[in-house]
Amino acid sequence: MFDVRTLIDRIPRIEVLIIGDAVLDCWMAGPSHRLCREAPVPVVTVTDRTYAPGGAGNTAANVAALGAPVHLVSVIGDDQDGRLLRDALVDRDVSADGLLTVPGYRTPSKRRVLAGQQMLARLDDGGDEPIPEHAADELIRTVDRLASRCACVLVCDYGTGMLTDGIRDRLVQRRRSWSGPVVVDAHDPARWAALRPTAVTPNYTETRLLLDERGPEDGDERAVFVERHAGRLLDRSGAAMVVCTLDADGAVLLQPGRRIYRTYAKTAPAPGFTTGAGDSFVAAFTLALAAGAHETTALELGTIAAGVVCQQARTSVCRRAELLRAIAPSESGITSEEELAEYVAAYRKAGRRLVFTNGCFDVLHRGHITYLNQAKQLGDVLIVALNSDESVRRLKGPDRPVNPVEDRAAVLAALSCVDHIVVFDEETPAKLLEAVRPDVYVKGGDYTPEMLPETPIVWRLGGEVRILDYVDDRSTTRIIERIRRTAEVPR
C-alpha cells in the first residue's frame, strides 16, 4: 500500500545519526552599480548576509525539518565560522552533542557573492586538512555513544578531509552493531564499499566517477546509461541498492535482480539560486527507509522533497508541512477534459511523446506502481484515465470501489511518474483516446493487443499498443480476497 501520510507520521519517532563534514554556507548579496578600478569586476555593496549549515549540516537540518530527532557528528574549528555554524545548526533543531570543536582546525565554509540575482563568485575555505588523531579518537567515541540510540545511520562524505581512511576503517568495524538502514552519500561511493551500506546515493557525476566512464551529458540517455551499468554500480559501491540522482530528471533505483525503478522530478523555476536539493533527497529517502517504507516509496518521497527545495532560494530545507502539501495538494489532482486538451496541445507543440493508460486503481499496490513507472519510461508524459465510481461498480460489482474516485486520484497524484489524471464514466476511455491521440497506449496484465477494445482506436489514430506485466501475485482483487479471508477467521 502507498500510505505516505502514515509513513510521515512515524518520522518523529525515528532518531537519526549523521556522520560527516559540516560546512558553513554564507550568502552575501547586494546591488552593484559600478566596476572596480583595480580590475574590470563588479563592486557589490553587501546589504544581506545569511548563514546556513551546508554539507552534512544541511542534511541534518533537513532531517530535523521533517520532524525527526537528529545527532550530527562532525568537526568544526575554534573560529568564528565554527561558532556561526554551531549556532545555525542549533537554530534548526539539530543536536550539537556530537559536534567536536578542534583548535587549529579551520571550519569548512562556502561564501557566495551575489549582485541581485547574479552569482559572481564562490569562495571556499577550510576543511582541507585531516583532523588530528586525538580528535579522530573522540569522534569515534561520540559515534559509539550515539549509535546505540539511533534507528539509522547516514554517512555524508563530501571530501573535505574530515573522514580520513582511518576513521572510515573504524566505522566499518562498527557496522554490525548499528541498527536500521545505513545510507552513504559520498563524492566517492567506492571508498565506502567495505561498509556494505544499505544504500548509496551518488549524483550523476559521482556515478560516472564510480564507473570511471564518461557517459552521456544530459537527458534521458543518462538514465539508460545508469541502467546499462547497474551490475557494476552495485558491485563497486558494495551497497544493497544504488540510487542515482539525476537532478531535474529525477532518480533511478538499482537493486540486484530487479528492474530499475525511476522517479521524475516535478520542479518549477526557483526564485533564486538554490543549493542542497540532494541533501533534502537523501534525508527524506533515509527517513522513509527507517520508517519501514518500500524502497520505491522511499525514492518517491526523496524526489518530492528535492522538488520542494528546488522551488526555494539559497540553502534550503524541506519541512514536514511542505512535504505533505507536495504529496497531497488541496486539489484532487484530477485534470478536467477541457484542461487536458490544452495540455495535450502544448505537449504536441513541444514534440512530447504521450503515453496513455486507464484503470480503476482501487487499492493501489506494488504491481500498479511498477507498471505505471514502466509506462512512463515509454514516453515523456503519462496520462492516467481513471474509472469513475459508477463505472467501477458496473465493471466490478456493487461492493466496489473500495475507495472513492477522489481518494484514488489523490494517491495516484502522489506518484512522480503520473503527470495527469482524468476521470471517465464510460466502460472504456474511447472518447478520451480520440481527444488525446496518444503515441503509446499501455495496459497491464495478461492481455494481447487484440483482446483490448481500445486497440482498434489507437491503431487508427497512429499510436502503438504495449502490454506490460503486473508484479506476480499483486492485484486488487487478490488483496481484497485476502483481507476478507482474514476477517472471516474466528478469533
Residue stretches of the annotated binding site: 203-206
Residue ranges at the known binding site for ATP: 203-206
Return d(Cα 435, Cα 441) in angstroms, integer. Answer: 13
Cis peptide before 401 (omega within 30 of 0): yes
Return d(Cα 207, Cα 293) in angstroms, integer. Answer: 25
Return d(Cα 223, Cα 251) in angstroms, integer. Answer: 8
Nearest-CA neighbor of 113 among 35, 56, 31, 22?
31
Residue 170, helix vs strand vs coil: helix
CA 66 to chain CA centroid, nearest Å = 14
Nearest-10 Cα torsion for 405, 411, 412, 416: 160
What is residue 415's DSSP assignment? S
Residues 6+ apart with CB under 8 A from 3: none
> How is residue 408 written as a grid cell?
484514488
The answer to whether 436 touches 363, Cβ cutoff 8 Å, is no
The answer to whether 106 touches 77, Cβ cutoff 8 Å, is yes
Nearest-CA neighbor of 229 among 198, 260, 265?
260
The position carrying cell 560516472 is: 208
Residue 40: Cβ within 10 Å count? 7
Choosing from 157, 279, 362, 419, the catalytic residue is 279
Q: Is 279 a catalytic residue?
A: yes
Residues 6+ apart with CB under 8 A from 327: 4, 5, 8, 301, 304, 414
Residue 20 β-bridge partners: 156
Return d(Cα 199, Cα 214) in angstroms, integer. Answer: 23
So which residues are the catalytic ones? 279
